[in-house]
Structure 1
């Protein structure tokens, strides 16, 4: 298990210059300025979360500009912005409504006019911050970016407040909510609009260790990403119910108490390492979706989902840990009406590992009335009783390679002593907790329970018999060949994702089905992915690694490799039907 690659990267072909550290970067920007006309506007467009103090000291001051404008100061104050997005934020601690605002709406036109009138007769003006390009179209544009998980880490450490706010010490769930439903949406729309205009991409993930690449080479690199299989940079996080399997088997930090989640297939939040001639830059992986959605997703998937990556893979580790919260996901009409989302969080649990007592909670017992169930959950939330899950909830034994389908509206959770590969639709934040076994979170605060939402989405008819017939190990053999078998394992017919499992000891052929493919090696130590037409270089994967095949590749093969040569191994593949 020690061969799980925690730092996968895309090697960008060709010789590409990258600049490391502020001194090197300043020298390059000075050369660029010296080669331009006499009056220059340098824009440093920043994604919310970039460290301004570092940008000022390391990049702006050494350039000795005649004028420096901080674009954030031209935006409305936090009170007015909060008033404008009140319906998006809601009073809920966790859930908001997805914003469809544009960034320019939050800038004061009077302040912008004054700032623009002061731009003339200055040899070098630097405009930096969120929305720098809104103030004035720059002659040179640097885009300062950082990964979504890095932003969340800065929220947690109280280093970072929300944009235009000073809420450094606010509840992390409320800070995250403002980022998820508002800030990241307007910043992403701005990023997409500026993509072709970027002269330099600045990686600001590591403190005082910036890296810069030209916009031309950055765009070239993103083209190369969608021309080959690739992996995202995994992120692992602890949780109140977390287990020990990932820590041991994936060689994670032994000093962390547990690891509950392993996010290695979530383009919305993961990042990608791009290696430019030995220099590694980290970018949000969603940038690839924004830049080349048709090549990555496929034409039909793009037509349906736009620039959203609709599939996600992650790990849930409860080995020597605890049960997940008992939960339900919203029905499609509910998530549309309440949260402004286009589609809901259908999912499935694929059992990657499990002890003899591993289990999954799925559906309700036979004959349960919804009003009785809700009464028990409400009393438990008030602390009057310990919720009698054995009375109401269907509990199933789980073993390695079982596959449990979980369409929206189905009560579910993983029991302890399992490692689950969760295969789901992307809207991952919409989990309505119904009962959390009386626990508090790692922050010491009661874990939010969402009965007000959950009660409107529980489909009580999904009982033991229905679950058994519709959701448990619905495996069908599709085709067999020499040394391989292809099986359909799910998902439920109400769900848009399809999953196929391949068992193979010989090379097996795959089609992308005109959709992006996301796969995981669920059995065996190593496999190699190859192109029948030699369209991409051979790509090696290891046990439990998630990898992505862009739709544009059309076809590929996988065979046992290295330590698994001659063995029977298995992958599970998800795609949009």
Structure 2
């Protein structure tokens, strides 16, 4: 394994708020909301509407509001007007399915969770109130928009990783009675139904918000000591507008796994008390957070997806936005098996299959870039020449029942892997990373659509066998991707584009069936880039430290350390990556992913 500087990887990167914005906390935050409500109400009783993301801790939130505004009546919209959970379960049964992992994406809106007549009745009650009122709960704006008079609107927002941590600790899905349910099923309910509806709903609030509240800090599963902060809607919108025009990083999230390794713990200065770290979502905006920081160092945590939803064209670029909508299509994450075990042997669905079966409009094409590798590292990729399809499937099913282990080496190629190798994995290709590898996974974003075929006989961290989906896998395996085809198409397909002075630009992938283009740049001093109208996602794969600068001074220099993933929004245009005054490395390397066919030079 290579040696890299310790303690430099930034685990809490921030995005600056406008200079005049301030994070409000405690009673002063709610006093500001009350003042805004009073100013809007005129002669009527003031109203604050707190529309909370599903999973927010409403009892603690209500307690905080009551402590700051003791004279205000707090009305829980969910208790007053939500449909019974049995009704909701029946309504979304086809989306949730009986499968432990997979469902079908819902296109419902938040009103599907509420009784319209009870919402109308509640609106009449609030409209006639003579004292100040707070409407609280997911969908609270459904009541408020029925009113004739204005109100102060607060979004109590949350990131998905915080929701998952709470669920693991016993929290339920929205109003569900499932504290002890399998976490995979809880996640499925969120991913396919609740979060889809909630994201659809909150985008209708963005332009009207008076305040945004960090609900992650209220009842957090892993307390950080941070007080729940609130910013104005104006600061929220301006902060995201600025963020979409300068380099940024989302907050990485690290998680253990049955195959997890020790590389990230040792090299990225993580908690040494943890048994391992398997995953790091280093750039998955649908899952990660943004930390918005004011001039005094106070922060508010929001989902990084808010940036995608609020600033899609500036962030993604016109052509990428036209192809994918307000969805971030590129994912960078780490898979650490150093001193760990093999990943599951798996395959991802073909595009037609994921569309017809799960309602997702594009699939999980991916690749493994070897950030580091042990001497014995291998990548399992493609079937061997002459494989008997029926025999392989029979052996997979026998392994699933526990009859006998699956002889992976008999059927699947195991290619030696070394640092900076790049293995391309278009959907339909059987694959796995072996032990003693540190993988930077560069892929399309639909990240839960993995059909495990064999998991080496292991149990999950919960003591339950991890789900295997051989039937799905059989329908998606592309059997012609044998040894000869895989070697010719998927293993280290490096092409030199330019070589001038100390700068070398290479195309390392992905395969022509995949929509992501990856370029690698080697340099000693600096290298020039241009987003050419589409979002760039990069990682510093070699060298200790660089900075991203604007040739026109459009943004302040932005420092990046080894192994950090960063986003350069489409709106940035030209930028330069150069060594810093502190850099001690002789050579630097970055990998850069973009959506193929969306650059201005390709138009």
TM class by smaller structure: over 0.9
- CA contact 2:17–2:235 (8 Å) conserved in 1: no
Superposed displacement of residue 66, structure 1 = 5.6
CA contact 1:140–1:199 (8 Å) conserved in 2:
yes
Which residues of structure 1 form unaligned runs of 5+?
A: none
> 2-side partners of 1:66 and 1:56: how far apart?
11
Q: Following the alignment from structure 1 to structure 2, what is the Cα–Cα distance between the partners of residues 112 and 569?
A: 59
Match for residue 192 of structure 2? 181
The answer to whether the aligner puts 1:134 opposite 2:150 as a matched pair is no
- Paired residue secondary structure (1:233): coil
Please give the root-mean-square deviation of Cα atoms over the aligned residues, in Å: 1.3
Q: How do 1:261-340 residues align onto structure 2 when only pairs under 5 Å count?
A: 261-277=279-295, 278-340=297-359
Give 2:56's aligned residue. Answer: 50
Counterpart in 2 of 1:162? 173
**Residue-by-residue CA offset, 1:208-252 (whole Å, 9 max, x unaligned):** 621111111111111110111000101000000000000011010
Whether the aligned pair in 2 keeps the contact of 1:522 and 1:544 (CA below 8 Å) is: yes
Structure 1, 109-118 or 175-184: larger mean CA deviation: 109-118
Counterparts of 1:354 and 1:471 in 2: how far apart (Å)? 18
Partner residue, 2:132:
124
TM-score w.r.t. the length of structure 2 is: 0.94
Question: What do the CA deviations read for 1:258-290 (whole angstroms, capped 9, x no partner)?
Answer: 000011111010011110122111110000000
Residues 62 and 74 in structure 2, CA contact (< 8 A), matched pair in contact too: no
Aligned to 1:31: 35
Determine the structure 1 residue equivalent to 2:213. Answer: 202
* Partner deviation per Cα, 1:46-74 (whole Å, 9 max, x = no partner): 00111111111111454245643212121
Separation in structure 2 between the aligned mates of residue 67 and residue 560 of structure 1, nearest angstrom: 57
Alpha carbons of 1:452 and 1:501: their partners in 2 closer, same or farther (altered >3 Å)?
same
Distance, in Å, in 1 between the alignment partners of 2:238 and 2:157 is: 17
Structure 2 contact 244–314 (Cα < 8 Å) conserved = yes
What secondary structure does 2:74 align onto?
A: strand
Q: Is the 8 A contact 2:369 2:421 kept in 1?
A: yes
Give the deviation of 1:154 after TM superposition.
Answer: 0.2
User: Which has the larger displacement, 207-216 or 376-385?
Assistant: 207-216
> Aligned pair in 2 of structure 1 residues 133, 65: CA closer, same or farther (>3 Å)?
farther
Match of 2:24 among 10, 19, 25: 19
Match of 1:361 in 2: 380
Q: Is the 8 A contact 1:482 1:506 kept in 2?
A: no
Determine the C-alpha separation between the residues in 2 that align with 1:454 and 1:44.
44
Asked if 1:71 corresponds to 2:82, the answer is no
Closer, same or farther in 2 for the Cα pair 1:341/1:65, shift >3 Å? farther
TM-score (norm 1): 0.98
SS in structure 1 of the partner of residue 467 of structure 2 = coil
CA contact (8 A) 1:362 1:396 kept: yes
Check whether the contact 1:60–1:126 (CA below 8 A) recurs between aligned residues: no
Aligned equivalents of 1:564, 1:68: Cα separation in 2: 55
* Aligned counterpart, 2:432: 413
Q: Secondary structure at the match of 1:467?
A: helix
Alpha-carbon distance change, 13 to 216 in structure 1, aligned in 2, over 3 angstroms: closer
In 2, Cα distance between the equivalents of 1:441 and 1:185? Answer: 27
